[in-house]
Amino acid sequence: MSGTTKGVLVTGAQQGIGAAAARGFAAAGYDVAVNWLDDRAAAEALAAEVAALGRRAVLVQGDVGTAAACAALVDAAVAGLGRIEVLVNNAGIFPRVPFLEMTEAEWDRVLDVNLKGSAFCAQAAARHMVAAGIRGTILNLSSSAVRGAVFGVHYSATKNGVIGLTRSMALALAPHGIRVNAIAPGLTDTAQPRHGNSEAELAEMAKALPLGRMGRPEEIAGLMTWLASDAGAWVTGQVYHINGGAYMA
């Protein structure tokens, strides 16, 4: 770290991988803008954890489903921290629905949050970085569901879209020294896989993985902080599959 404190904005940080990312970046010396949607108590508890690590935390409430909301939450993060070197596009939703029953409204909502939200949060953050002369990092969350999801056709479509978005943004932003990479987690110990699966079913799914267990959110966060560090300075436009060996690409 340099003498200037760095800032990170983590979207969807009130729980799971997003919360782990906030903790991981705080431990790495970053001040953290914690974006939350509907659980202020969880966001405040996370901010207290960041403070306990000796870093500042600002709470930024907002839904990433519109371009205007994305711009507003990036503006709020910059106002609170002074600058952001890293954006973690973590916010996402996965409402399960059989394909033959999926409505246009359900399709639109998932694409708005998962894909449009990632694009326009990145655009707003990149505009700030370019204006401030920051050679920053954008990290987009994809998923092992790029291989397909029986009850998540809309979700799988967005997570494949995130990969194309990542590669194209990496090319567009390289002249500004901004690196863009994607992380595609597999079965991770968060609330998300528990939707529709019992603990026994999760245990069986975990045992079927080559490494025999679910991933931990902090393991995903560890890859994020490495990609944002000087050690990852020559890495852009890449997709990192972190899934216990379930999918080897």
Mean pLDDT computed over 201-208:
89
Residues of the domain holding 115: 7-242
Angle at Cα 50 formed by Cα 139 and Cα 16, nearest 5°?
55
Q: What's the structural domain count of the chain?
A: 1
Mean pLDDT of the chain: 95
The single residue listed with the structure tokens 């966001």 is 43
What is the CATH number for 153?
3.40.50.720
Hey, what are 81's tokens? 């921290």
pLDDT band at residue 2 using 50, 70 and 90 as cut-offs: very low
Catalytic residue among 6, 116, 159, 240: 159
User: Cβ(37)–Cβ(15) under 8 Å?
Assistant: no
Is 96 among the domain residues? yes
Catalytic residue among 143, 144, 156, 240: 143
Is 25 among the domain residues? yes
Q: Taking the CB of residue 143, how many other CB atoms lie within 10 A of it?
A: 27
Whether the pLDDT of residue 1 is over 50: the answer is no
User: What 8-state DSSP symbol labels residue 148?
Assistant: -
Instruction: Please give the model's pTM, rounded to 2 decimal places.
Output: 0.94
Alpha-carbon separation of residue 166 from 109, 136, 234 (angstroms): 21, 14, 15
Percent of the chain with pLDDT over 90: 89
Catalytic residue among 6, 155, 156, 240: 155
pLDDT tens readout for residues 5-21: 899 999 999 999 999 99
Instruction: Tell me whether residue 156 is one of the annotated catalytic residues.
Output: no
pLDDT tens readout for residues 150-161: 999 999 999 999
- Residue 248's Cβ-count burial label (10 Å; 0-12, 13-18, 19+) is exposed
Is 159 among the domain residues? yes
Is 247 among the domain residues? no
Instruction: Tell me whether residue 6 is one of the annotated catalytic residues.
Output: no
Whether the pLDDT of residue 199 is over 90: the answer is no
Query: How far apart, in whole angstroms, are the C-alpha atoms of residue 156 and residue 158?
Result: 5
**Phi, psi (5° rounding) for residue 7?**
-125, 150
pLDDT tens readout for residues 35-94: 999 999 999 999 999 999 999 999 999 999 999 999 999 999 999 999 999 999 999 999
Whether the pLDDT of residue 235 is over 50: the answer is yes
The single residue listed with the structure tokens 């799971």 is 16
Is 248 among the domain residues? no
Is 67 among the domain residues? yes
Query: How far apart, in whole angstroms, are the C-alpha atoms of residue 245 and residue 214?
Result: 11
Percent of the chain with pLDDT over 70: 98
